Chains A and B, each alone.
Chain A
Amino acid sequence: MSGYGAASAFVDGPAGRRLGLETATALTPSGLVERPVFFSGFPARPEVLAAGLLAVADVAGTTYADLGRAQRLANLDPVVTASGDRMRFESFSGCNSVHARLDLLPDGIGEGAVGFGTTNVDINQPLRTALARMGGSALLHLTVGPDEVRAGTPDDQHVERKVALPDRWVRGLAEVPYVSAAMAVRAELTGSAVVRLARDLPRAGSPGPTVHLVPAPAGFRVLPRPLPGSIAVTGTTRLRGLDRVLRFATSLTLHADPHGATAWMLELPGARLTLVLTASPWRGFSGEGGLLLRLVDRDSEVIGRALLTDLGWDPVVEPDRLARAAGLTDERVAAGLAWLAASGRLGHDLAEQAWFHRELPVDAEQVLRRNPRLRHANDLVDRDGVRPDGPGTWQVRGTGADHTVRAEGGAGHVCTCPWAESHASGRGPCKHVLAVLLTNAR
């Protein structure tokens, strides 16, 4: 657990308007660094940056679906990734069913250089109020990191607030890119169509109702029941995170994956805000799904680790360049990148349709390997719970009965256990399939 040297703050004084976002311990190309400075300069549109940061903080402070056991972690501090030419601020809702990311793009950074690395930034309530008061009429000096000017102010109140990146965020930060990479663009709206859709989406209750969108000339029609080809949006109240920045939005792109997760990407002047929603509002991003398969793929792991040194916090990872540099085929590079994403080392940029490098200042891989299903699979392997039963078939010890796992070509592995029957679609492999894969990899 690391801490901030001071509280983030906004100062409007004789030296002008200064916004200081305090950083905690960061992982950078040169390793762990205490409170690094990722940026010092002038954003092109301060009011857009302020609204975007508030949107990310709003999501972090909201629990849309109270699962009864959700830990109350309101106002968790967003994670910032500095990638040399842009900065990305990310958060999860209290229920982990919404991921928010504000990308401050190169044209949104008016003056100043962006460093490299990932850490938390302090967003406290006074700062939220200050951000809400921020207009766009005057220059704003932004520091992401300790602010030298403000630190020298005699009456500055020194705060040693601790910050911890919770495991559920780590798991979510690994799963969201994996889910995003499987998404396809379903619609692009511009101008008044964005406003109209925002108006039409019901926001009653939490997590809100399910609606179904069908294309219409002026955007989308919002329907209460599904039709063939319609896009289901579950828990529409979860889109409240967009409200702060809608007034600045120039377009909205809707992405969806085959299992019902959606991503809502708003283009803003010099920035981009993306909300990724789980298929079910009652399930958060929990580090499951297909990424478990990738995590146990030893071949991909070897390639991924080899590629790691060439990533260098790239804002856009170019597989071609990596393939040339490492002397690997495109397929092997793709497999290695998928493993890196599954281990929490890559993010995914829907607009660029590309990965970006983002390593968390914690051992994300270890957190992900603590996944209960993966642990149980390892236990099964350690206790000889998997035995071959003919070509492409295994018997795996279950609770009270053995289950049969079969390799079924393109469909991967299929298990006969009740869990797989109930959840096979969208929640990844069961522990028995994982155990078979682990056994085969040994």
Chain B
Amino acid sequence: MTGESHDVGARLRELVIAGELAPLRAYLDGLTGADLRAARTWVAGTHDVDEYPYPDELGDYEYVESSDGTRGARVDVGRPARERAMHRARCLTRGRLLGPVAAVQAVSTGWGGSSPAGDDEVVAAFVDHDEAWVTAFARAADAVSPSARNAGLVTWLLRKVVEAHGLPVPTGRLFHEAWIKQVQSQVEPPQWSDRRPDLDPLRADPLLPDVVYLLLASGEVGVWPGFARVLPTLVDEGVIDRDRTLAVALEQLTAGQKPSSQKALAGVLTALGLRAEEVPGGLDYLMGVLTSCHGYAAGVILRLALDLVASDPDAVALARALAPRREKGLRRTLLTALSPAALGDRVSREGLVEAIDVLASGDEDVADLARYDKARAALGVAARSTGSAQQAAPRLGLWNLTPPTLAELPRVRHIATIRDVVKPLMRTDDKSWEQAQAVEMALDALARGDLTTSDLAGIAHELVAEGRLSPARSASLFEALFLGGAMQLVWPAAMHTADLAASGARVVPGLDRLLAMLSSYGAEPPPPVLVPTHVARISRGTSKAALEARRLLELVDATPDGSPPARIDLGLWDESTEHPPQATHYQPKRNLDSVARRLAATQGQDAYVADPRGRIRQSLMLEELVALIPEHGVDEVRARGSVGLVHRTWPMAQAVAVWAAGQLDTTSYWRMAEDAESVADKSDEWKGQRDAHLDWRAVEGVREDPPVMPWGWRESDWQLEFLHACEVLLLGERGGTPLSTPDRVDGALSLDALLERLARARTVGPIDLRLALARLRPTTPGDAARVPGHARTEPALTVRTGDHDLDASELVRSWLAGGGLQCTVGLNDDGHPVVRATSPWSWNSLPVLARREVPDLPPIRHDDIWRLPARPDVWLRGGFHSSTSPESLADVGGRLGADGWRRLFEHLAEVPPDYTALDFAALVRLQRQGRLDPAVATATAVAEWDGGRTDLLGDVVGWEHVFLRGALRGMWPVAVAVVEAGLARPERPGGIDALRDVLRRYAHHVPGDTVPAWLERNA
């Protein structure tokens, strides 16, 4: 013991780091004089042990293996346990040596996690003090903010101190919130259990009964919604006092507690059976509470207040107190009571009428006005509401406003179309888009013409088909769009939506809200305002919707039998056309000045590839670079053909950058192919030293030994594309040209083109040859005889030693004779569709690709367009939902076969899920490309029915969606053919009648000559 602070501090630090409490306590107990003062100074300070000492000093590091068996990151395996021990020790020093307020401050702001339950040594450090210390500690701890870093530990220690010394129950929010969390979990059974609450833990709490009263006053009682349920038992057992509990609850209802706590307080009144005559202050008090409390509590208070109404002034005063509240339910409860049968023995007829008038003042809800009149009628008073409700709102001048547009933003592809953004706002029980944001997007789209009246009406049709149209939510959306300046566009859609909601045998719930909203803006459109047929029809009824429909008719001065508005043209028959990708060529270019810029332009700013055709253009430009070498020489092409590519991350650009830097030769090529690892697998230390992160480039990595490639190297297709580009560039230096360059924009290659290139080739690259075969359009085994000559692969690119080559022509023959790459669609063990791909020549048989498995079927569908093009049935293995990917089914060339149609049928058989949508845009493009073949579709359906499948069409909601989303022209003949085939079968397949009904409903949207006679006959 030296009294030197650094000695004492160093020793304390050692003991804290060791985490052993007994020696620490013994050391602290032995401190006196200067050592004790030095220790206090050290404890009050901030040290490295408050967080964690320097890792290398104490770390217990081990290396954890990576998934591929290589040595991975260093991990301090003992850290969590050691941290806990250190923090317990640190907490003990604070309790032992600091003053009470300083101890609270240090513990609450220090590190330490949750309570060190069961740790008596730590608790003793705070409990073993005199009365003054613990009292001050309790006061300070009770005032700690719930948001304090270590509030949980402070509360836990506070409770221990209070119990040990018998101190008054704390009053702070933090303490009571913690008390609830602790007790509730012990008392309340799980929600799924029918077990009764177990009150034993509560009974055993030494803080009862005061803790109950103080909890009610703490403002935190709402944290335990079921708290009131346990009180009657405690009252019956005499544990708590009923009168005092009720008095506290009543008092706290005037204290402005938060809504959940007010609800709990009202629950206490109900649970303990408070009678109206027990309320101090009587009706005056209850009315005061009624004016300011939240909804649930108001219901309880109103029921008590009604028991105390004894005179005409009471009834009127109660109505006056309630009238400004928003809750209709409360007003209806009071209105029900304002009847001869209820309050008639205490309030005169005149008093009841006056109270009803007070309650009705300012109310414009037609249904409520009818209720008031009914109540008046029961008292023999004539109706007064007629006319007041029909008062037209003043014109706001909305009709001539125009919607605003948002500032131009970079084009970002969203999963959802604007229609799918708007749709949730009209759908029941859907909060997938925050309304304010969606409304701004909708207004912008309306202003730009990206969203139309027809689209809005179409959404309503879709939702009716799904059974999920919410007129009330639609009203909110339409109102926001009206006010946003789009009323001319939206009013017809809103009327149309109301008409749809009114068109069924039963009106859609919430229609009254939509009609009321339309009434409130009825003065805006120029007359005559025409009311749709079904809305006019229901106006003759007595429901809320009927009352609102009647008001709308009267406000817009339309008669129920007046002419309906013109039907909205949903614009479903799309006549536009588009070239199919398999029929579109690219014109080859040879321009050294622009190739680098064009190459860079194929890369989107934020996407791997900006559009699907960009990927194909890259292949063409790779070929262009090679083709420019004979004319300009390697050095010039390297220098001018790669400008601007240094920061590009996609594999081909990385390969070009390595080549342009003069670092690509057969040696480095094989080093990369066989020795390289990904930067992702390097240690943090390695990456830190080189600042190697996501933007690490191959041109830097090739200098490493072994080479360290970018993050994408982990993916087999990234490697494949990179090595292919390297191979093509190296071959180009030797005068070779690539075989695999697609000859159509869908990325596929015709056999004629391949054979022509093969005939001209001096040597070929093995990867390029294999890629060319994967890109081939359908061939027959007989085509093998057409393969010319005996082209061979470049030895230096075939094996690392450069002493072996392959007979390229023979490989092509074998490929064709063997049927090429075969893809079959089947089901996996879970019944989900899977595609199995096999080929006569596997990728991995190439020595350059032997290190990692490259399956014939790309793991990511995105890569199909590059190395498995023109196979739409295979593409559909990933489903038919919208995605952020730029490619869609319409970009995949080739014929949609039976497997593809089956997948389409399966998707259309389901209502689209809330948060994803089918890729209707792709279907529309297929329609424009003329690629929806009714014969194949029908044959597929028949085959499925023959195979015993009955649910192929589902509930046909998806079919209706397809019609509404613009693919009617393409899918109408498909649907007609499928229905005809179904009707012709002896047993009618499921969904056929429903699909026929859909066809009937949409028959007026298609040209007459496309409507079959049988459909017209049944129309």
The chain A residues found within 8 Å of chain B, CB to CB, are 47, 50-51, 54, 58, 61-62, 125-126, 128-129, 131-136, 191-196, 198-200, 202-203, 214-219, 221, 223-228, 240, 243-247
Contacts and interface: CB of A to CB of B under 8 A. Distances in A.
B256 A58 contact: yes
B391 A214 contact: no
Given A196-B362, A246-B291, 11 more contacts: A54-B254, A61-B256, A128-B255, A131-B288, A133-B281, A195-B323, A196-B361, A218-B391, A225-B480, A243-B291, A247-B287
Contact of A224 (B289, B325, B393, B483): B483
B869 to A, nearest CB: 49
12 contacts: A128-B254, A133-B281, A134-B281, A134-B284, A135-B283, A192-B361, A216-B394, A219-B362, A244-B288, A244-B291, A247-B317, A247-B321
Interface string B245-264: 00000110011100000000
Interface string B261-290: 000000000000000000011111101110
Given A58-B256, A243-B292, A247-B324, A217 B251 contact: no
B284 A133 contact: yes
A216 to B, nearest CB: 6
B396 interface: yes
B255 A133 contact: no
Most chain B CB inside 10 Å of its own CB: which residue of A47, A54, A199: A199
B320 interface: yes
B343 to A, nearest CB: 19
B832 interface: no
Given A54-B288, A223-B483, A62 B256 contact: yes
B61 to A, nearest CB: 39
Interface string B653-684: 00000000000000000000000000000000
Contact of B292 (A134, A218, A240): A240
B548 interface: no
Nearest to A226: B483
A132 B324 contact: no
Nearest to B294: A203
Nearest to A241: B292
B479 interface: yes
Contacts, number: 108
A198 B284 contact: no
Contact of B483 (A129, A199, A203, A227): A227
A216 B396 CA distance: 10
Q: Which of A61, A131, A133, A202 has the most CB of B within 10 A?
A: A133
B324 A133 contact: no
B393 A135 contact: no
B195 interface: no
Interface string B975-1010: 000000000000000000000000000000000000
Contacts of B362: 192-193, 195-196, 199, 218-219
Contacts of B283: 135
B361 A195 contact: yes
A47 B289 CA distance: 13
B850 to A, nearest CB: 60
Contacts of A135: 281-284
B256 to A, nearest CB: 5
Contact of A126 (B251, B281, B323, B520): B251
A373 B847 CA distance: 74
Nearest to B359: A195
Interface string B286-309: 011101100000000000000000
B304 to A, nearest CB: 14
A191 B357 CA distance: 12
Contacts of A136: 284
Nearest to B318: A247
B393 A216 contact: yes
A261 B287 CA distance: 31
Interface in B355-392: 361-364, 391
A68 B226 CA distance: 30
A223 B485 CA distance: 13
B281 A132 contact: yes
Nearest to B247: A129
A178 B594 CA distance: 66
Contacts of B250: 129
A191 B323 CA distance: 12
A125 B323 CA distance: 27
Nearest to B317: A247
Contact of A199 (B285, B292, B326, B396): B326
Given A135-B284, A227-B483, A244-B291, A129 B361 contact: no
Contacts of B483: 223-227
Contacts of B285: 132-133
A180 B331 CA distance: 36
Interface string B514-533: 00000010000000000000
Nearest to A202: B326
Contacts of B795: none
B269 to A, nearest CB: 15
Which 6 pairs across A and B sit closest by C-beta, in order of nearness? A133-B281, A196-B362, A192-B361, A135-B284, A198-B324, A225-B483
Contacts of B325: 199
A216 B391 CA distance: 11
A128 B250 CA distance: 11
Given A54-B254, A133-B281, A192-B362, A214 B396 contact: yes
Nearest to B520: A221
A442 B323 CA distance: 59
Interface in B836-895: none
A425 to B, nearest CB: 21
B484 interface: yes
Nearest to A128: B254
Nearest to B293: A243
A226 B404 CA distance: 13
Contacts of B288: 50-51, 54, 131-133, 244
A217 B396 CA distance: 12
A198 B397 CA distance: 25
Contacts of B398: 227
Nearest to B321: A247
A46 B722 CA distance: 87
Contacts of B397: 228
Contacts of A131: 254, 288
A58 B323 CA distance: 20
A130 B361 CA distance: 31
A203 B288 CA distance: 19
Given A199-B362, A243-B291, A247-B321, A47 B284 contact: yes
A135 B428 CA distance: 46
B309 to A, nearest CB: 14
Nearest to A136: B284
A439 to B, nearest CB: 41
A219 B394 CA distance: 11
B292 A58 contact: yes
Nearest to B257: A61
Contacts of A223: 479, 483
B393 A221 contact: yes
Contacts of A126: 251
A135 B314 CA distance: 11
A61 B257 CA distance: 10
B199 to A, nearest CB: 29
B291 A247 contact: yes
B292 A224 contact: no
B484 A225 contact: yes
Contacts of A219: 362
Contacts of B289: 132
Contacts of B320: 247
A208 to B, nearest CB: 12
Contacts of A125: 251, 254-255
A214 B321 CA distance: 26
Contact of A191 (B291, B361, B393, B480): B361
A245 B320 CA distance: 10
A234 B393 CA distance: 24
Nearest to B483: A225
